Amino acid sequence: MKKLFVAAAVSVLATGCAVQPAMHHTLPESVESIAPTTWDIKVPLPDVDASAWWARFRDPVLDQLIATVLHGNLDVQAAGERVKQAETLTVEKRAALLPELDATAQAVDRRQNTPPPVGYVKQAGVGLALSWSPDVFGGERLDMLQAKAGLMGQKHTLDAIRLALAADTASAYVDLRWAQQTLRILKDNVQIRRRALELTRKRLAFGLSTELDVTRAQNQLDVLEARIPATQAQIEHQLNLIAVYSGRTPESVDRLVLKQAGDIPAPADGVPRTMPSQALLRRPDVLSAYAQVERRAAEVGVAKAQRYPKFSLNLTDGVLAASYLGLPTLTDNLFSAALSATSPIFNAGRITAGIARRESQMRESEFELRQTMLQALREVEDSRANLVSTADSTRRLTSALASSHKALDLSNQLYKGGATDFLDVLSAQEVYLRDSDALNQARRERALSAVALYRSLGGGWSSNE
């Protein structure tokens, strides 16, 4: 018995020589090797908080919408369940490092006819059984580290889903407001062209215009009105998409607020003051990719640990009572102890091949981490460039729309006074509609660029940071 406990103590001390995970760069080291010191595109950098980035649009409806979606989305709930599964797996792996204690009980009532015949035999016993597989070379510990890395990966995946969902919801909301503004522009221009049509008819009645002017005016009105049904359908599509994001059916979503036409949310000037390395260190996809590297490194260690012996310790103790017909009841104390070990001798290269496969998978995950960081940097630079360009386009188109509106008023006045023909009016109407659509599109693109930028910066609001 003493020797068994000595052996167990020695096995515990031997864990200091256990197999370690494969060596790899830490995440800060990987980021430092690839991240530039500054961004290429310069944008205003006010001191703002990246948490709840959608609040930067100053749109209460958007704030409430994203809060509802993050709470009710089914993909988020499913990802949350995967996190719980990873947590329970980690508990299971940790339990494998500790001894297991079980209670045993038995009862027997049988007739024994073999010589010497003793008639009926009754036995009953209770006891305890302890089993333990000492993790001498660290295989079980590495298996637990692998489970922990998987848990962190699932948490970061949940963060990535929440970040993507918030950005997708904001984009859908922007597209909804853009479609509503497009519908408003179409209806306003329909009224303008109806007034022009009425004017040409009146002038025709007094012989001041021609049938050709009336036909042209009618054609312009019909073409414009034909765009309205498609725009209305687009509004319904965005409402249905938002309903799905919130985990509801299209019929059950609260459409009263969303159906009321509103302006496209305008992002505030500037972006959070974030360095490239900081953006990479808090992006959920980068963190998830690094968790995969850590998981693969632990798997390499698990594969290497298969080269070494495995030990098993089993202890049992209990009381057994037996009664034979005609004889008094007998009791006995049962105790047993066993220490076993198994060690690989010949496996035809299976263990070596398994180690090589795991090492290749770890190198693959390191390449994927590097690719993820490169893609993240590209997304940030692209979105910063888009934000700057769309801001400039919006300013210029605002000025252009004011000029085209003034030109439309002047052409109508000149046409009424007979100082110009109807072609100038039609041309002014087309330019005004074109500039209105262009400005509406520029505002949409600027809002979407801001959403893409906050999405590419990642983090800053995650519950798992």
Q: What is the pLDDT of residues 387-422, one digit of tens each?
A: 888 888 999 999 999 999 999 999 988 888 887 888
CB atoms within 10 A of CB 287: 27
Q: What pLDDT does 352 receive?
A: 92
Report if residue 236 sits inside a domain: yes
Residue 272 pLDDT class (50, 70, 90 cuts): low
Q: What is the mean pLDDT of residues 374-393?
A: 89
- Between 10 and 432, the more confident residue is 432
Whether the CA torsion 48, 52, 54, 57 is positive or negative: it is: negative
Q: How far apart are CA 384 and CA 387, in angstroms?
A: 5
In the predicted model, is pLDDT for residue 443 greater than 50? yes
Question: For residue range 288-344, what is the model confidence (pLDDT) as tens digits?
Answer: 999 999 999 999 999 999 999 999 999 988 887 777 665 666 677 778 889 899 999
Q: How far apart are CA 159 and CA 47, in angstroms?
A: 24
* One-letter amino acid of 203: R
| Residue ranges making up the domain that contains 225 | 17-95+136-304+353-457
Q: What pLDDT does 8 receive?
A: 47
Q: According to DSSP H, which parts of 35-115 are helical?
A: 60-72, 74-95
Q: What pLDDT does 250 receive?
A: 75
Report if residue 401 sits inside a domain: yes
Report if residue 130 sits inside a domain: no
Residue 110 pLDDT class (50, 70, 90 cuts): low
- Between 388 and 11, the more confident residue is 388
DSSP string, 143-193: HHHHHHHHHHHHHHHHHHHHHHHHHHHHHHHHHHHHHHHHHHHHHHHHHHH
Strands 119-132 and 310-324, how do they pair?
A: antiparallel
Give the E-state strand segments of 210-367 in sequence order.
Answer: 310-324, 330-342
Q: How many distinct structural domains can be found in the chain? A: 1
Report if residue 73 sits inside a domain: yes
> Nearest 5°: phi and psi at 248?
-125, 165
Q: What pLDDT does 269 receive?
A: 72
Q: What is the CATH number of the domain that holds 145?
A: 1.20.1600.10
Coil vs helix vs strand at 20: coil
Report if residue 71 sits inside a domain: yes
Residue 84 pLDDT class (50, 70, 90 cuts): very high
Q: What is the DSSP letter of 55?
A: G
In the predicted model, is pLDDT for residue 165 greater than 60? yes
Report if residue 362 sits inside a domain: yes
Question: Tokens 């076993």, residue?
Answer: 340
CB-based contact 444:371 (threshold 8 Å):
no
Q: What pLDDT does 462 receive?
A: 46
Question: Tokens 């692998």, residue?
Answer: 146
In the predicted model, is pLDDT for residue 43 greater than 60? no
Q: What pLDDT does 403 receive?
A: 93
* One-letter amino acid of 130: L
Residue 423 pLDDT class (50, 70, 90 cuts): confident
Residue 102 pLDDT class (50, 70, 90 cuts): confident
Average the pLDDT over each of 35-39, 53-57, 241-245 and give the range with the smallest value. 35-39
Q: What pLDDT does 276 receive?
A: 83
Question: For residue range 169-202, what is the model confidence (pLDDT) as tens digits?
Answer: 999 999 999 999 999 999 999 998 898 888 888 8
Please tell me the total number of residues recorded for the chain in this structure: 465
- In the chain, count of helices (H) and strands (E)? 12, 4
